[in-house]
Amino acid sequence: MGLGGPPARTGRPQLVVSVVVSIAATLIVVAPAQPAAAATLSLSSGSFNVQVESTTGGVYQLSNPSDPFRTNYVINPTSRPAFNINDSRWLGDMVFSARKGAATTSTSMNTALSDDIRTVTSGTNNITVAYSGTAAHTNGINGFGLTESYSLGGTSNSQLNWTIRIRNTSTTPIEFRDIGFPLLMDGYWKSNDQTAIYEQNVGRHSFVADDGSYIYWQRPNGIGPFLVMTPQDGTSLEFKDKARAGEGPFGESDPAWEGLVEYFIHSKDISVARSTKSAAYLPSTSLTLAAGAEKTYGFTFQWASNYADLQNVLYNAGVVDAVSLPGMVVPTDTKARLAVRARAGITSVVGQPGKNITVTPRGTMNGYSIYDVTLPTLGANDVIVNYGASRQSVLQYYAIQPVEALIASRSNFITTKQQARTTRGYNGAFLQWSMSTHKLITWDDYPGGGWKEWMAGGSDDLGLAPAAFVSEKNVTAPIQSQVSAVDYYITNFLHGYLQSKTANGQRTYEVYRWYDGQDGTPRDQGVWRVYNYVHIANTYYNMYRVAKSYPTMRTTFTAAQYLDMSYRTLEAMFTKIPANNPLGDSANTHGLMGESTYPEILAALRTEGQTASATRLESFIRVKRDRMFAQAYPFASEMSIDTTGFETTYTLAKMYGNTAMANKAMSASMASRGTQPLWYFYGSDNRHMGESWWNLGYETQLGAWQQQDYMLTYGGTSGPEFSQVMRVTNGAYVAGWANINSGQISSNSADIGAASWQYQSEKGTSEYSHIPNLNGWWAWSGEADLGFWGGIRTASVNIVNDSIVGLYGYGGDVALANGYYTVTPKDGVRSRLTMYNKNKFTVEIQKARYTRAVVADSLTDIRITLQNVTASTYAPRITFRNLPTGTYQVSVPGAATRQLTTNGSSVTFDLTSLTGTGQVLSVVKI
């Protein structure tokens, strides 16, 4: 990642962060499974049920007695017998790399290979696992003593304390270059059993940030409590290491297991050994103990009932509780509002040297120190919070260009550089761009690796999402050349190839999976790839909106024709996919990315008089609704655990009044998202195997749409939990735009406007090893545009009264003076405004944009400065929601004054024949 890291403390040279050598390098012996344990020692309270196996010293049970699901947060030999080996990695095992006396090399040691010197005893309220003497195994503990103690403490024994005491029992100094421990929590997804996954597995959210580190785990269903692990005074984390595929029995196992993750208090050796698969995040350190000296480290486990409580748990545990709005990815035209607190007191907040970061104090509010942070340097930026006597927590930000500039850059890049213009059958297709070769990835010029039909076939999310994004963008900011590019794609690639199948002389609107190198009739005539259909239907639907909204825009088809093609594509998806296929009846059983448009398409069909089509389409949707609502967790996909189903489940729940299912989708969506202040985790969804892979993928912004719509439809508007959900939701929205290159991913001028498929925080070789990696970013554009499509649908200025920082505008600047709010939009689309602090008063603008809004606190006087998005006269359509009941006078300079009456729910009106730009729409209650 090349952050450079914060200034190192005295004696803390720069670290090169890594990922798995401890597991790969110290896993010396893989012996047969051990015999069943004779007994376990237990600790119990109203908050914890802890069991430590008396032979191995491993923690085999860690649960909450009041938890309705009785989830065991750790893996043990019963849940995963394959892990029951001699060189184990149970929770409680530890790994070391030590250099003794004048030795020039280190020796790897671990507790698992120290059975002969281990004792496990219990006291009144504690369990002790001790290692004393010299283990027989070469890589067992020797030269030092290790005592691990588990004890209950805190109010009503609500905390589990894990104390680690290391004593140099030799006659010479020992440098402990690595001190680490595995966290074998139960993230091994239970096959295709969605109920077991969502109720019995746990997902990890980690923050390795020196003294301010913490980790928490929660079930994928999002229902509390969450298990939170924090370092005690004098303990910090600086490194984590993940077992990759093929690296021993704990290695990554697609699609069920991310690979074991180990965390390090000190990491001098492991960071170097894994340097080809890691990057510099924090300085690495070691511990030197003189003969007879000792050092104690410790961690505390406790439960948080929800996200707001998580903040209190962190604060009470003595680490930094940090809140950043709008998130950890911040446009350069926006100041981040940072709020931090620590029990030991905040001493300073400083920016990483060389990045021109400005940190401006704003005083205190609600127990937090408040700062404005400006990030003028694109890319990763560290902000260091110093607290207490000499402690620090490292927050990782990422700066991007203003969102509107990114949207414009990306849409222009797609239509000018990513569209194939050829005599071949893939003519008109939008193909991937490679930032490693600085050119298009075509069928005839393919760099190799992977599945060529998918990677260069112009279909699936890779090939179909660009048109969905560009057409969505042109609904609010039309450009003739971009509209024409989409029409060229429809005429040549969709109609000419991908949807060219006919029956009885009529187009069937079935979708071939992808281009297979055969001009004309393809060799591969499979039409079962259900994920293809919705993207195409949404592209047609967007072109209907463009043609309908902008009559002067030249389009190949009429608005009604585009809408009919959208319907027929969805009809083919529901009725013409063969039942005997690799995905089964996935049109009815899988949540598909993009299905959030169903209500809009149905409404458009009815508006255009295509009522029979609307009725038939809704009959298909109702079948899907019934199939999905019959499942406890209707989120299944091609992966063991996925986030793609939340959008559809939520949409259907909202359409048909299933509030319980809407709540379930929202809770699961939030559980998949990081809340820790790291730009590659914050708001990004954890899918597939966990937080190590696929950071900032397309579901980051698709999930932001679903969560924002939930908050608008169902959510409250005040309180700590509301504020935290809004922070993460809006943080996810802006985070996805980081994938667009403005020079921070590739400095080559040919790549400005290109996109990265996703970010890979673990670095090194991924499961898609044929895709080049640019400092963590995948060099190919892949499916990124599906996220940008969701981003445009999410874009809004959201005004809130945040529980910590008070009045704040997500996606824009807001000021309150003399009873009026002044809003300047910076969300990138400038078509929506919601004031959550004013009963969710909402403004939606179609066929125009706005540059400024002035709204009276009483909502009785509203003035919106409009912007024409075409070269001709324009006729904006304005919708107000939750405008107070009454009659209002509506006026625009140069147009006739009119009145509108609202009952307090929703009202829509059209303005006609406006010219120029900058007209101020005035709506005043009379």
Radius of gyration of the chain (CA): 29
What is the structure's pLDDT at 694? 83
Mean pLDDT, the chain, integer: 93
β strands within 201-357, DSSP E: 203-207, 214-218, 226-231, 239-242, 261-267, 287-289, 294-304, 321-325, 329-331, 336-341, 346-351
Average pLDDT of the segment spanning 491-495: 98
What's 790's DSSP letter?
Answer: H
Strand order in the sheet with 59-63: 40-44, 49-53, 59-63
Average pLDDT of the segment spanning 471-496: 98
Angle between helices 598-607 and 645-655 (to 10 degrees): 50
Residue 663: phi, psi to the nearest 5? Answer: -60, -40
Q: How confident is the model at residue 33 (pLDDT cuts 50, 70, 90)?
A: very low
**Each residue's pLDDT tens digit, 500-554:** 999 999 999 999 999 999 999 899 999 999 999 999 999 999 999 999 999 999 9
Report the percentage of the chain scoring pLDDT > 70.
96
**Strand pairing partners for 853?**
823, 864
Q: Contact, 429 vs 489, CB < 8 A? A: yes
Report helix, strand or coil for 318. coil
Q: Which residue is listed with tokens 């049970």?
A: 61
**Rounded-to-integer distance, Cα 376 and Cα 363, Å:** 23
Q: Contact, 683 vs 327, CB < 8 A? A: yes
* CA-closest candidate to residue 322, choices 805, 808, 730: 805
**Each residue's pLDDT tens digit, 59-110:** 999 999 999 999 999 999 999 999 999 999 999 999 999 999 999 999 999 9
Average pLDDT of the segment spanning 275-289: 84
User: What is the reported pTM?
Assistant: 0.94
**Rounded-to-integer distance, Cα 858 and Cα 840, Å:** 13
Distance of CA 304 to the CA centre of its chain: 21
- Asked if the model's pLDDT at residue 309 lies above 80, the reply is yes
**Each residue's pLDDT tens digit, 696-739:** 999 999 999 999 999 999 999 999 999 999 999 999 999 999 99
- Asked if the model's pLDDT at residue 681 lies above 60, the reply is yes
The sign of the torsion formed by the CA atoms of 398, 400, 403, 409 equals: negative
Average pLDDT of the segment spanning 40-49: 97
Q: How confident is the model at residue 280 (pLDDT cuts 50, 70, 90)?
A: low
What is the structure's pLDDT at 541? 99
What is the structure's pLDDT at 150? 98
Q: How confident is the model at residue 401 (pLDDT cuts 50, 70, 90)?
A: very high
CA-based angle 731:733:738, to the nearest 5?
A: 90
Strand order in the sheet with 321-325: 321-325, 336-341, 368-374, 358-365
* CA-closest candidate to residue 878, choices 910, 856, 853: 910
Report the percentage of the chain scoring pLDDT > 90.
89
**Rounded-to-integer distance, Cα 590 and Cα 646, Å:** 10
What is the structure's pLDDT at 278? 65
What is the structure's pLDDT at 519? 94
**Each residue's pLDDT tens digit, 613-639:** 999 999 999 999 999 999 999 998 888
What is the structure's pLDDT at 24? 37
Q: How many residues does the chain have?
A: 926
How far are the Cα atoms of 189, 419, 431, 510 from residue 457, in angstroms, in the given order? Answer: 31, 12, 8, 16
What is the structure's pLDDT at 872? 87
Average pLDDT of the segment spanning 584-598: 95
**Each residue's pLDDT tens digit, 769-784:** 899 999 999 999 999 9
- Asked if the model's pLDDT at residue 404 lies above 60, the reply is yes
β strands within 413-529, DSSP E: 433-434, 439-440, 502-503, 506-507
Q: What is the dihedral of CA 760, 764, 769, 775, to 10 degrees?
A: 60
**Rounded-to-integer distance, Cα 3 and Cα 380, Å:** 6
What is the structure's pLDDT at 17? 26
Enclosing H/E stretch for 362: strand 358-365
Tell me if the bond preceding 326 is cis, omega within 30° of 0.
yes
Residue 451: phi, psi to the nearest 5? Answer: -100, 105
Report helix, strand or coil for 749. helix
What is the structure's pLDDT at 279? 57
Give every CB contact of residue 746 below 8 A, 6+ residues apart in sequence: 435, 438, 754, 774, 779
The sign of the torsion formed by the CA atoms of 416, 422, 427, 431 equals: negative
**Each residue's pLDDT tens digit, 350-399:** 999 999 999 999 999 999 999 999 999 999 999 999 999 999 999 999 99
Q: Contact, 889 vs 926, CB < 8 A? A: yes
Q: Contact, 91 vs 185, CB < 8 A? A: yes
Average pLDDT of the segment spanning 578-607: 95
CB-side exposure of 265: number of CA atoms within 13 Å? 23
Q: Which of 8-17, 231-240, 443-452, 679-688 has the lowest mean pLDDT?
A: 8-17
The two beta strands, 126-131 and 118-122, are: antiparallel
Cβ-count burial 216-225 (b if 16+ within 10 Å, e if not): bbbbbbbbbb
Q: What is the DSSP string of 695-738?
A: BT-THHHHHHHHHHHHHHHT--SSSHHHHHHHHHHHHHHHHGGG
Q: Contact, 146 vs 135, CB < 8 A? A: no
Q: What is the dihedral of CA 83, 84, 87, 93, to 10 degrees?
A: 80
Token pair for 894: 């140069």
- Asked if the model's pLDDT at residue 6 lies above 50, the reply is no
**Rounded-to-integer distance, Cα 579 and Cα 92, Å:** 49
Give every CB contact of residue 553 below 8 A, 6+ residues apart in sequence: 478, 480, 483, 546, 547, 870
Q: How confident is the model at residue 8 (pLDDT cuts 50, 70, 90)?
A: very low
